[in-house]
Amino acid sequence: MAYQPNIPTGTVDLDVDYKNLQDNFQALDAYFGIDHVPYSIATPQSGYHKTAHLIPEAVDPVAVSGIGEVYCKTTTDGFSTDEQLFYQSGSGLISALTRNFQPLAASNGYTFLPGGLVIQWGIKTAVGGQTTTVNFITSNKDFINNCFTVQLCAISTILIGLQLNAAPSITGFVARHVTGYTGNFFWVAIGN
């Protein structure tokens, strides 16, 4: 049943147009029920959202002073092309709320923060007196633009002297363990 605009027509009595009015209310209830608890279901939750489907915007919407807005648009963020969720403040500040990848909660994993930051982490073995290369793509993700920082944390005290051998890149880093012991270390990298 489709919604009929211009009902009531005003050209016939309401006792004649009542069926069209009933049909319109049923159509509205059905359409509204797509993302909401329909009004025809008599519960305290009638009218509440069940989910929110957002049609992707072609461009960022114009900011409305004093009003924040959430919207989505199709983007290519370097990881893939998909719909991303954004928040825009009333003064036009835009923050990406998502990235185009699924976070991985594992011992070698990664996630994102609002604003476009990517955090990844892992565990690696350092061989005493040698360099250890960590390639992000092997178990995580290469950064698209920048690797801002890498932090190393030895799992045991035998790895005293563990350090970055050079500045990290978007594809990984090299750590050096200056003593003769071998052991595992945790690493965390932040970039975008």
Q: Is the pLDDT of residue 129 over 90?
A: no
User: Any idea which of 27-31, 52-56, 136-140 has the lowest mean pLDDT?
Assistant: 27-31
Q: pLDDT higher for 56 or 160?
A: 56
- Same domain membership, residue 21 and residue 70: no
Total domains, the chain: 3
**What predicted TM-score, i.e. pTM, was given to this entire model?**
0.78
Percent of the chain with pLDDT strictly greater than 90:
56
Q: Is the pLDDT of residue 159 over 70?
A: no
User: Any idea which of 20-29, 65-74, 134-143 has the lowest mean pLDDT?
Assistant: 20-29
Residue 53 vs residues 2, 10, 59, 94, 157: alpha-carbon distances, Å: 20, 35, 18, 20, 52
- Same domain membership, residue 174 and residue 118: yes
- Same domain membership, residue 186 and residue 114: yes
- Same domain membership, residue 183 and residue 114: yes
Domain boundary among 42, 68, 100: 100
Cβ atoms within 10 Å of 14's Cβ, excluding its own: 10
DSSP for residue 36: B
pLDDT in tens, 8-37: 877 878 777 888 888 888 888 887 778 888
The confidence score (pLDDT) of residue 65 equals 96
What is the residue type of 146?
A: N
User: Ranked by mean pLDDT, which of 52-56, 103-107, 160-164, 174-178 comes out on top?
Assistant: 103-107
- Same domain membership, residue 58 and residue 89: yes
- Same domain membership, residue 63 and residue 43: no
Helices assigned H by DSSP within the chain: 14-32, 136-139
CATH number at residue 170: 2.60.40.3940
Domain boundary among 72, 100, 128: 100
The confidence score (pLDDT) of residue 178 equals 78
The confidence score (pLDDT) of residue 95 equals 95
Q: Is the pLDDT of residue 67 over 70?
A: yes
